[in-house]
Amino acid sequence: MHVLSDPQRDGLAATPRSPEALYTLEGAAFDAADGRALLAPLTLTLEAGRMSALIGHNGSGKSTLVKMLARQQAPSRGRVQLLGRDLAAWPAREFARRIAYLPQHPPAATDMTVRELVALGRYPWHGALGRLSAPDREKIDEALELTDTARFASQLADRLSGGERQRVWLAMLVAQGADCLLLDEPTSALDIAHQIDVLRLLRTLADTRGLTVVIVLHDINLAARFSDELIALHSGRLLARGTPQALMHADTLEAIYGIPMDVVAHPRGGWLGVAH
C-alpha cells in the first residue's frame, strides 16, 4: 500500500515518470476565487489503460482534480501534462480526440434524439459545420451497440430514465473515440442496479478497448470491485494510493472517510468496507 499525507511536506520522492504515463502532475494545485486551497500541490502519474477511482469524503478535491485533468480549470500552481505535453499546449480539437469528459451534471439534451446526442461525440473529428461521414456514422452505430442504447436511438434522450440516459451519455463518449474517459460521479443519481450496469460497461471498455478510465466514486465497495487502483484524497491532499486489495483495510478506510470501518470478506471474493 502506498499511503502518504503530503509528498512535498514529507520529503517523499515524486512519482517517477513512466513511458506508459498518460497524465503527469507536478505540484499541481488549485485555489478557489476566495483563496481557499481546494487541491494542495499534487504530484503523481496516471498510467494509460487502467481504471482509476478517485475516492474520499465530500470536499476532498476529487471533482477539482478530474476537472483539472479535463482542462475545465487550469492549475493555480504547478503543471499538468498529457503525454509529456502541458495541457494548455494542446489544441482544443486534438485534446478532445484524446480525452472525453462527462461532468457530474451533464447539460440538458432538450428535443434531441438519442442518436443526435451520441452524434455530438463526433464533433472533434468533423467540426461544427461538417457533415457526418460514413466512418462517423459507423462510430455512432458502434457506440450505440456497445452501450446497448441502439434500441433508444429514435427516442428523445430527455424522456429516458436516469440509468438509460447515463448510458446514452457514455455512448456519446465512446463515439468520440478518445483514449481516456474522465467521469465525475456518473453513478450518483442511479439506483444500485444501474450503478453496477454503468460500472460493468466502463470495466468492459477498459478491458476490451484498452481505454483509460478515471472516475469519481463515493461508494468504496463499488470502487474496489471495478477499479484497478484507488486514489484517495482527503481535504485536498493525496492520502493513499494503491490497488483495492492494498487499500481495503480498516485503518486506511477510517483515515479516508473519518469514521470507524470494518473490512469483511465478500463471499464471492474481495473485500467489503462496512461502517460501524
Angstrom distance (rounded) from CA 118 to CA 174: 9
Domain limits, the chain: 2-101+181-275
Cell of 246: 492494498
HSE-CB at 113 with a 13 A cutoff on CA atoms is 11
What's the confidence (pLDDT) of residue 5? 37
Nearest Cα to Cα of residue 181 among 194, 160, 166: 166
Pairing of strands 99-102, 180-184: parallel
For every residue of 3-60, DSSP letters joined together read E-S-TTTTTPPPPPP-TTEEEEEEEEEEE-TTS-EEEEEEEEEEETT-EEEEE-STTS
Specify the 3-state DSSP secondary structure of 73: coil
What's the confidence (pLDDT) of residue 110? 87
Q: Name the CATH superfamily for 2-101+181-275.
A: P-loop containing nucleotide triphosphate hydrolases (3.40.50.300)
Pairing of strands 229-234, 51-55: parallel
Nearest Cα to Cα of residue 268 among 204, 208, 219, 221: 221
Contact 233/239 with Cβ under 8 angstroms? yes
Cβ atoms within 10 Å, residue 60: 24
What's the confidence (pLDDT) of residue 17? 41
Per-residue pLDDT of the chain (276 residues; tens, 9 = 90+): 444 433 332 323 334 344 479 999 999 999 998 989 999 999 999 999 999 999 999 889 999 999 999 999 999 999 999 999 999 999 999 999 999 999 998 988 889 999 999 999 999 998 666 788 999 999 999 999 999 999 999 999 999 998 899 999 999 999 999 999 999 999 988 899 989 999 999 999 999 999 999 999 999 999 999 999 999 999 999 999 999 999 999 999 999 999 998 998 877 777 789 887
Angstrom distance (rounded) from CA 137 to CA 131: 10
- Tell me the whole-structure pTM to 2 decimals: 0.89
Helix 134-146 and helix 162-176, axial crossing angle in degrees, nearest 10: 140
The residue type found at 120 is L
